[in-house]
């Protein structure tokens, strides 16, 4: 439990769209939580309710207390106009000191373009504000029991940021797989902020990989903070359903998929690292073991997805990890309820590079093996090259050995924009082979996946021999 500053605020007034000029009753009630008690100027995400012309809509946004006055933005989805953003700032001293303290002018945006104005006023007595709107509360752990941690948009509103929600699945027997990724990219420099839709189809029987990506202005996209809901002009992810289409370089992928699964979420890093500055890239497996149903169409050829096994993951950060190999198996051939995620990586800290670090989490037979502390990760042994990877980690009681491999024909190469500057290359396969050996108390257990492993390598090198698809 930690102590947090809670800000509750209700403001009301009017909203007027340029199209009709009618002032409609408008109000919002928000609750912002800040665990840094004395960082008054830090952005504070909030959730709440917008009331417009008598109808209530859930909203999310951010308030930032500035010397000149607090700045607000909030997003909500109108039943007729779709996603809207309302944004503005109180300006102390404008139109009289008292009025400036309680009144906030706002602009209404749709798809990044202004379409109206609004004005709201704090209706409670100003002298009562510290007693009615501010309070210290004990807030629980990073995620309450039964919830999915870090499910929604993690962007704090400042600096560069990337964030992806990605889902993948494999055919139960054949070397076939799909991967769908929804991304927001916010550069630290002057590049455009984007929403991205990615799709890949892996066919190990034909030795073909079809990869597509489409980009859209970030203002045309919705990435909710309070829940996992992602909407781009051609694709959505909400609830237990994803659908969309994307085209690139003469190829088109379409998907319409439902999924189900009740395995608890999995934090890949130690929980205390998620709120800190290191590492700059974070990840969580929101739904480790999923079963997918629906259709996936590749250049006009429709594939029926019937009980394919896979996962949903979520990652974000202010920059990509400098170098890594990453792997995941959501159900082994001989242990369908087992789940593995592992990584071997190193990052730059200023001008220096960290040692290679190897992290691993394995769920097997109702037990969870977690070898992911910084100390354990440095002591572990992980080595990879194009396109082969071995690692070993563990403690005095348990040792885990992993080998992941795929031929070059089962990889594609993708360009990942990096928020600080430039880009990285991701070598990506979702039909790799994986073997795992668990030695515990003199007993040995082996797991095998013939073509169900995810295997990615992030690199700056150009000598990998894989054609850049996107």
Long-range contacts of 354-358 (CB under 8 A, 24+ apart): 356/382, 357/382, 358/382, 358/391, 358/393
- C-alpha separations of 201 from 235, 268, 387, 397 in Å: 16, 26, 19, 40
> Is residue 134 over pLDDT 60?
no
Nearest to 437 by CA among 362, 330, 373, 359: 362
Give residue limits of the domains in the chain.
2-139, 161-459
When the pLDDT of each residue in the chain is averaged and rounded to a whole number, the result is 89
End-to-end CA distance of the chain: 44
Q: What is the rounded CA–CA span in Å between residue 168 and residue 198? A: 12
- One of 2.40.370.10, 3.30.70.360, 1.10.3720.10, 3.50.30.50 is the CATH number of 161-459, namely 2.40.370.10
For residues 146 and 288, give the distance between their C-alpha atoms in angstroms, rounded to a whole number.
14
CB 353 within 8 A of CB 369: no
- Has residue 218 got a pLDDT over 80? yes
Cβ count near 62 (within 10 Å)? 21
- Residue 76: name the closest of 206, 187, 231 by CA: 231
Is-contact 43 65, C-beta < 8 A? Answer: no
DSSP SS3 for 368: strand
User: Is 70 exceeded by the pLDDT of residue 141?
Assistant: no
Question: What pLDDT sits at residue 5?
Answer: 61
> For the range 363-369, what are the long-range contacts, defined as Cβ-Cβ under 8 Å and sequence gap of 24 or more?
363/263, 363/266, 363/288, 363/337, 363/338, 363/339, 364/335, 364/338, 364/438, 364/445, 364/447, 365/335, 365/338, 369/394, 369/398, 369/400, 369/438
DSSP code string of 397-461: SEEEEEEEE--GGG-EEEEEE-SSSSEEEEEEEEEEEEEEEEEETTEEEEEEEEEEEEEEEEES-
Phi and psi of 336, rounded to 5°?
A: -65, -20
Residue pLDDT, tens place only, 256-305: 999 999 999 998 888 878 877 788 899 999 999 999 999 999 999 999 99
Assess if CATH 1.10.3470 describes domain 2-139: no
Q: Of residues 376 and 139, which shows the higher confidence score?
A: 376
Per-residue confidence band for 319, with pLDDT thresholds at 50, 70 and 90: very high
Q: Where are the beta strands (DSSP E) in 171-239?
A: 176-186, 194-203, 208-217, 222-223, 229-232, 235-238
Is the pLDDT confidence value at 100 over 60? no
Q: How far apart are CA 405 and CA 308, in angstroms?
A: 21
Beta strands in 261-300 (DSSP E): 266-267, 281-298
pLDDT at res. 129: 46
Q: Which residues contact 288 (CB under 8 A, 6 or more apart)?
A: 261, 263, 264, 265, 266, 311, 330, 339, 341, 363
Report the range of poorest mean pLDDT among 76-80, 193-197, 206-210, 314-318.
76-80
pLDDT at 140 over 80: no
pTM above 0.75, yes or no: no
pLDDT tens-digit readout, 163-212: 999 999 999 999 999 999 999 999 999 999 999 999 999 999 999 999 99
């Amino acid at each position: 439990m930690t102590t947090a500053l809670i800000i509750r605020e209700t403001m009301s007034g009017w909203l007027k769209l340029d199209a009709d000029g009618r002032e409609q009753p408008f109000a919002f009630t928000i609750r912002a939580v800040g665990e840094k008690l004395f960082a008054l100027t830090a952005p504070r995400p909030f959730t709440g309710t917008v009331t417009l012309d008598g109808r209530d809509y859930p909203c999310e946004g951010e308030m930032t207390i500035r010397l000149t006055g607090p700045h607000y933005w909030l997003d909500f989805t109108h039943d007729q106009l779709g996603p809207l953003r309302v944004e503005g700032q109180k300006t102390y001293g404008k139109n009289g000191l008292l009025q400036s303290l309680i009144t906030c002018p706002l602009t209404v945006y749709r798809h990044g373009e202004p379409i109206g104005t609004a004005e709201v006023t704090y209706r409670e007595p100003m002298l009562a504000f510290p007693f009615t709107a501010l309070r210290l509360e004990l807030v629980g752990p990073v995620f309450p029991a039964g919830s999915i941690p870090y499910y929604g948009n993690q962007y704090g509103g400042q600096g560069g940021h990337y964030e992806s929600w990605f889902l993948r699945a494999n055919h139960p027997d054949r070397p076939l797989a799909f991967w769908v990724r929804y991304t927001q990219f916010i550069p630290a420099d002057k590049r455009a902020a984007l929403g991205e839709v990615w799709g890949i189809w892996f066919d190990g029987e034909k030795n073909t990989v079809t990869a597509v990506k489409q980009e859209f202005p970030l203002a045309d996209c919705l990435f909710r903070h309070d829940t996992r809901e992602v909407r781009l002009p051609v694709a959505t992810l909400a609830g237990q359903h994803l659908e969309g289409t994307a085209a690139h370089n003469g190829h088109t992928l379409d998907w319409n998929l439902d999924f189900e699964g009740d395995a608890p979420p999995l934090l890949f890093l130690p929980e205390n690292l998620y709120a800190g500055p290191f590492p700059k890239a974070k990840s969580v497996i929101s739904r480790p073991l999923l079963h997918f149903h629906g259709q996936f169409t590749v250049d006009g050829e429709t594939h029926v997805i019937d009980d394919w096994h896979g996962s949903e993951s979520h990652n974000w950060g202010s920059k990509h990890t400098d170098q890594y190999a990453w792997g995941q198996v959501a159900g082994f051939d001989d242990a369908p309820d087992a789940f593995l995620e592992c990584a071997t990586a190193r990052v730059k800290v200023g001008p220096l590079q960290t040692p290679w670090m190897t992290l691993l989490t394995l769920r097997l037979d109702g037990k969870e093996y977690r070898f992911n502390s910084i100390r354990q990760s440095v002591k572990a042994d992980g080595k990879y090259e194009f396109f082969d990877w071995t690692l070993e980690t563990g403690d005095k009681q348990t040792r885990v050995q992993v080998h992941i491999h795929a031929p070059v024909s089962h990889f594609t190469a993708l360009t990942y924009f990096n928020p600080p500057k430039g880009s990285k290359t991701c070598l990506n396969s979702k039909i790799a082979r994986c073997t795992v050996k668990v030695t515990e108390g003199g007993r040995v257990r082996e797991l095998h996946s013939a073509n169900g492993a995810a295997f990615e390598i992030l690199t700056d090198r150009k000598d990998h021999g894989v054609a850049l698809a996107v």
